[in-house]
Amino acid sequence: MVRTLENVDKVRMAVVKRPRRSVKRHSAAVGLTDQSVQRMLHKDLNFHLYKIAIVQELNDRHMANRKISSEQLPEMLNDGGVINTLQMTDEAHFHLSGYVNEQDYRYWAPENPQELHQRHLHSERLTVWCGIASFGVLGPYFFEDNEGSAITVTPERYVAMLRNFCEPELRH
């Protein structure tokens, strides 16, 4: 039987020492299968996987670095002349309350720390669209009404942005 007191204690010590390490890495460290370590964590140690939200303050240095990167990317795309019509677009939602959605940060612990990361159900946010092609950056485009207030992105508003902003920028 793999779930001996000795093995359970090895798993406990490994997880207490490094709670953010994955089950796969813990299993390699203690010399047991992933399934055995997972079973011990749940059934023997009553550990669970918890998620931590991380936020990062952006300052002027970050803005300067992003500007430099955005100016260098088109040059990198044109190196060798292979890519000449690549276009990528994306939009991002910035919650004005400071909420950040962080999905991939979790840790193992025997009890939930009961930390609250509150956010409004429908928090006010700003949606920004940007595009990039080998010839330059399109945007940013802020989805706002005539008074400059953030608005919800609907299919109609997205198509209007493509027609009224994106197409003229591409032609220019």
CB-count exposure of residue 114 (10 Å: 0-12, 13-18, 19+): exposed
What is the extent of the structural domain holding 9? 5-46
Question: For residue 34, what pLDDT is reported?
Answer: 92
Question: For residue 139, what pLDDT is reported?
Answer: 86
Tell me: do 152 and 86 sit in the same domain.
yes
User: Within a domain: residue 23?
Assistant: yes
User: Within a domain: residue 51?
Assistant: no
Tell me: do 18 and 82 sit in the same domain.
no
User: Within a domain: residue 108?
Assistant: no
Closest CA to 162 of 141, 144, 147: 141
Closest CA to 92 of 66, 112, 60: 66
User: Within a domain: residue 27?
Assistant: yes
Tell me: do 25 and 96 sit in the same domain.
no
How many domains does the chain fold into? 2
Residues of the chain with pLDDT under 70: 52-56, 73-86, 98-108, 112-122, 134
